[in-house]
Amino acid sequence: MKFILPRAPCFIGALAAVALTLAGCQATLSQDITTFNAAAANDMPTACALVASANAAFQTLAMTGTIKANVISTEKQAYAGASSICVSPGSVNAATGLETLTNAYAAIVAARQATTAVP
């Protein structure tokens, strides 16, 4: 004689096991995000310093008067966005803040490189 379990209770049991597993994953994921944000927040001052340094270098080049207005405008917008984060880093999610700072740094460096390409 074979013993056959009814499908519905087995299915419900399987769903319960999956739900418990996902709940554990969600707690772990939430903790990982919190840990990541804390680590990223520690990197914000370094990122802000890099952006400020890149801006200072660009401003030195801009003083020569040979940089196109659209390049200066692009750099100014990038630096303004970065500055708002650096003034109040707690106002943004650390990961988003670092992404914004990275993009601003890349834009400033690209603007600086564009100035060296001008004959």
**What does the DSSP 8-state code read for residue 91?**
G
User: Which pTM does this prediction carry?
Assistant: 0.62
**pLDDT tens over the chain, length 119 residues:** 554 444 444 444 444 444 444 444 445 656 666 776 666 667 788 888 888 988 998 898 888 888 888 888 988 999 998 898 888 877 787 778 888 888 888 888 888 887 765 55
Say how far apart CA 65 and CA 78 lie, in whole Å. Answer: 20
Whose tokens are 């801009």? That residue is 62
Helix (H) or strand (E) holding 6: none
The token duo for 112 is 């600086």
Domain boundaries, the chain: 7-117
